[in-house]
Amino acid sequence: MSTMREILVDSAARLFGDLCTNEVHARAEKGARQSELWEQLDASGLPQATVSEARGGAGADPGDALAVIREMGAACLPAPLAETMLAELLLAAAGLPPRSGPLTVGPVLKGEKLSLARRGKEWEISGTLHRVPWARHAHALVVVTQVDGEWATAVVERPAITEPGMNYANEPRDNVQFKALRLPQDAVAVGGGCLTAARLIALGALFRSVAMAGAMKSVFNMTLRYAQEREQFGRTIGKFQSIQHQIAILASQLSAASAAADTVIAAAANGEASFEIAAAKTRIGEAAGIAAGIAHQVHAAMGFTYEHPLHRSTRRLWSWRDEFGSEAEWSAWIGGVVAQLGAKGLWPFLTSAQKTIPA
């Protein structure tokens, strides 16, 4: 890690630690708007981490933004930080001006589509999006959709929520509906570098993968500490070999997730990293399930209470491993690529720096 990134990560971790008080978590779990939390985040400049210098930002490299997201995952920060960064990636690719957050993106579900059409000088958008992250708090929702066979990006101000929802961690996942909603001319860009819906889902998978690696680190730390403190049968439970081996497995899964996160962060800083994103979401998602299971078993009844903070991390792991494609979906995608490569093509593909996905 570069020294600059280390400084950024340290300061982000400290800020998130300060911001994530029990009160903040309690309010977040009820789905309440947290203007103060966002103002403090905004003041730190972190939500603008993906805004390039040319677009008036600090010009952080994508690896730096992802390193911050890892800390967000570790802290269980209840705010649309990843979504705001993703929205900027869509806006920048489309050549639309940057926006102040909080922002969110859609569609986040595979196969969901919107219809967008010209109406004179304006645009009209229709359709329903499900499980849009943090939509109820977003100042704007940035969507991707097709217009006459070309990909387009559109900005919808203060999207109307038809049905509020949440993931297992009570993070807002809201349904949004547009009924022939008029958008001004400058809220839409068509063609050019506009990202596709598939690319948005891949980027979402990238951000969730890295966030999971962060959350797993916290799960591991809590579990190790608990095993060293909790006494039964006259000694700490960490002295029992069965517990030691469970924690060793947890450490190994965390290691695999960390390695996958580090590798995908490096790959994403240098290219599309489609394969690496798929492999990371698959591997980290699997590790997340194993890690959460072991953590709860070691914490036993204590970790099953609402009072103990373990569930903040484990409920996020269970949510994030499903969002933007589960291990099942991404491994099937990799399987399709591998079938095209064949046995002979697999290793040359894995060892090439820029991996060209076969058609």
Partner 1 sequence: MSTPSFSFAPIELPESASRLRTEVREFLAAEQKAGNFTPGAAGWSRVDPEFSRHLGARGWLGMTWPKKYGGHERTALERYVVIEELLVAGAPMRGHWAADRQLGPLLLEFGSEEQRQRYLPEIAAGRCLVAIGLSEPDSGSDLAAIRTKATKVDGGWRVEGRKIWTSLAHRAQVTSLFVRTEPKGENRHAGVSRFLVDMSSPGITVRPIINMTGEHDFNEVIFDDLFVPDDMVVGAVGGAWSQMGKDLAYERSAPDRWLACHDLLLQTIDRVGPKPDIAQSEALGRLVAHLWTLQNMSLSIAGMLEAGANPNVEASIVKDLGTRYDQEIPQIARTLVPEHMRGDPAHQRFEESLRHNLLFAPAVTIRGGTTEILRNTIARALGLR
User: Which listed residue (1, 43, 198, 302) binds partner 1 by CB under 8 A?
Assistant: 1
Q: Parallel, antiparallel, or unpaired: how do β-strands 140-147 and 150-157 relate?
A: antiparallel
Handedness of CA 253, 257, 260, 262 (dihedral sign): negative
Question: Per-residue x/- marks for partner 1, 198-217, CB under 8 A?
Answer: -------------------x
Per CB under 8 A, does 252 bind partner 1? yes
300 binds partner 1, rule: CB under 8 A: no
Nearer to partner 1, 185 or 340 (CB): 340
Please, what sign has the CA dihedral across residues 176, 162, 137, 155?
positive
Among 127, 238, 303, 325, binds partner 1 (CB under 8 A): 238
Among positions 254, 268, 273, 295, the unique one binding partner 1 when judged by CB under 8 A: 254
Between 105 and 211, CB nearer to partner 1: 211
Which residues, including other chains, have CB under 8 Å from residue 15's CB and lie 6 or more apart?
A: 40, 41, 44, 46
Residue 335 contacts partner 1 per CB under 8 A? yes
b (16+ CB within 10 A) / e for 104-126:
bbbbbeeebebebeeeeeebbbe
Which one among 58, 224, 290, 357 touches partner 1, defined by CB under 8 A?
Answer: 224
Using CB under 8 A as the binding rule, whether residue 245 contacts partner 1 is answered as yes
Only segment of 7-15, 154-162, 262-270, 298-306 that touches partner 1 (CB under 8 A):
262-270
Can you tell me which of 211, 227, 292, 295 binds partner 1, judged by CB under 8 A?
A: 227
Q: How many CA atoms lie within 13 A of 284 on its CB side?
A: 35
Residue among 140, 145, 144 at smallest CA distance from 156: 140
Residue whose CB is less far from partner 1, 3 or 241: 241
Q: Min. distance of Cβ 210 from partner 1 in angstroms?
A: 13
User: Which is closer to partner 1, CB of 158 or CB of 245?
Assistant: 245
Q: Which CB, 109 or 251, lies closer to partner 1?
A: 251
225 binds partner 1 (CB under 8 A): no
- Chain centre to alpha carbon of residue 287: 16
Stretch that binds partner 1, among 36-44, 187-195, 241-249, 298-306 (CB under 8 A): 241-249
What is the closest distance, in whole angstroms, from the C-beta atom of residue 19 to partner 1 in the complex? 25
Q: Does position 340 bind partner 1 by CB under 8 A?
A: yes
Among 282, 313, 314, 319, binds partner 1 (CB under 8 A): 282
Stretch binding partner 1 (CB under 8 A), from 27-35, 181-189, 249-257, 301-309? 249-257
Q: Which stretch binds partner 1 (CB under 8 A): 5-13, 54-62, 149-157, 327-335?
A: 327-335
Which residues lie near partner 1 (CB under 8 A)? 1, 217, 220, 224, 227-228, 238-239, 241, 243-245, 247-249, 251-252, 254-256, 258-260, 262-263, 265-266, 275-276, 278-280, 282-283, 286, 327-328, 330-340, 342-343, 346-348, 350-351
